[in-house]
Amino acid sequence: MPQPSLQDLLDRVHVVALPMRVRFRGITVRELALIHGPAGWGEFGAFPEYQPPEAAHWLAAAIEGAYQPPPPASRDRIPINATVPAVDAERVPEVLARFPGADTAKVKVAEPSQTLADDLARVEAVRALIPTVRVDANGGWSVEQAVQAARALTATGPLEYLEQPCATIAELAELRRRIDIPVAADESIRKADDPLAVARAGAADIAVLKVAPLGGISALLQIAGQIGIPVVISSAIDSAVGIAAGLHAAAALPELPHACGLGTGSLFVEDVTDPAQPPTDGYLPVQPVTPDPARLHALAASPQRQQWWIERIRACYPHLG
């Protein structure tokens, strides 16, 4: 695919600010730059702290989505997990109600301002309503803390896996030798110079792959074909445009043994489609997404924030591979 010119990209950008129902990853408004290209829509939403060399992967994914059709699909719908942010336990039923039919839930744990007791209460509240539970620590535990947490969180029931319980590959490998719960890697893949290193080190049982941070669907599928462990496709707090890319990636995999983390659209009060596609019986359909023009206008970021994203695209563009 020939790389479009910078000016062509900038002429196609729509910057939106999507309000969120709860604080997630420290934010309550998700800003994204959507690109309307000849093949459809792409999404650039690298988090603000990412510097241009890393954020350029997210821009590459947006360009692929806007200028290149998705790969052939092996399935037309994708099982999704409910996503439970680090909310108080009493809010869990309210959160899960947004994921009708889901029989798997991913629960955020290891929030810096919270304790293991908070995590346990949240997991127990989820377990009372959903049969399969996985937790995501975003690298927030040491090995010893992860061992203790694994013991506490499985005292009354199993966990499907611990996602990124520790920050480094070496820590994941040590933890995996000390516990019986499967370990999933996310940041150790998407933020690594070598995304296959975690598997070679025997540090993970499952790979959590996200389209945008890995540079697009094509790059994700290449990693999935080489990593040698089961894959879960997840989102990066994407709008409906980014979710559609994740669904296309999941649809192209030859095997999909686990529910995918692509139901995060329910975290938004408003999205760029009207209405946002809800799950049906725990599944989302694989289909193109076209933002509603009225919503693009209503959800447009302030002029200052639009200019910030334009300048960010300018800074990332020279780093595209």
Question: How does pLDDT run across 178-233, given as a tens digit for each residue?
Answer: 999 999 999 999 988 899 999 999 999 999 999 999 999 999 999 999 999 999 99
CA 75 to chain centre: 20
Q: For residue 1, what pLDDT is reported?
A: 64
134 has pLDDT over 90: yes
- High-pLDDT (> 90) share of the chain, %: 92
* pLDDT, tens digit (0-9, with 9 covering 90-100), for 36-47: 999 999 999 999
The arithmetic mean of pLDDT across residues 279-301, rounded, is 95
Residues forming the annotated binding site?
136, 163, 186
Q: Pick 1 or 267 by higher pLDDT.
A: 267
Model pTM above 0.85: yes
Q: What pLDDT shows up at residue 267?
A: 86
* Confidence class for position 280, pLDDT limits 50, 70, 90: confident
**108 carries an active-site annotation:** yes
Measured CA distances, 43 to 7, 80, 129, 177 (Å): 17, 20, 33, 38
pLDDT at 275: 64
Mean pLDDT for 236-250 is 96
| Structural domains in the chain, sorted by start | 6-70+293-319 (3.30.390.10), 77-285 (3.20.20.120)
Strand-pair partners of 234? 210, 261
Amino acid 277: pLDDT: 63
**3 state SS for the chain:** CCCCCHHHHHHCEEEEEEEEEEEECCEEEEEEEEEEECCEEEEECCCCCCCHHHHHHHHHHHHHHHHCCCCCCCCCEEEECEEECCCCHHHHHHHHCCCCCCCEEEEECCCCCCCHHHHHHHHHHHHCCCCEEEEECCCCCCHHHHHHHHHHHCCCCCCCCEECCCCCHHHHHHHHHHCCCCEEECHHHHCCCCCCHHHHCCCCCEEEEEHHHHCCHHHHHHHHHHHCCCEEEECCCCCHHHHHHHHHHHHHCCCCCCCEECCHHHHECCCCCCCCCCCECCEEECCCCCCCHHHHHHCECCHHHHHHHHHHHHHHHHHCC
Burial class (CB in 10 A: 0-12, 13-18, 19+), 51: exposed
- 108, 122, 127, 312: the active-site residue: 108
Mean pLDDT of the chain: 95
Q: What's residue 27's pLDDT?
A: 87
Task: Calculate mean pLDDT across residues 265-284.
Answer: 85
Catalytic residue among 210, 248, 258, 312: 210
Determine the Cα–Cα distance for residues 223 and 253; give it in Å rounded to an integer.
Answer: 11
Annotated binding site for Mg(2+): 136, 163, 186
> Measured between alpha carbons, how far is 72 from 9 in angstroms, rounded to an integer?
26
Residue 73 has, within 13 A of its CA and on its CB side, a CA count of 18
pLDDT one-digit tens code per residue, 53-66: 999 999 999 999 99
Name the CA dihedral angle for 121, 279, 285, 211, rounded to a multiple of 10 degrees: -40
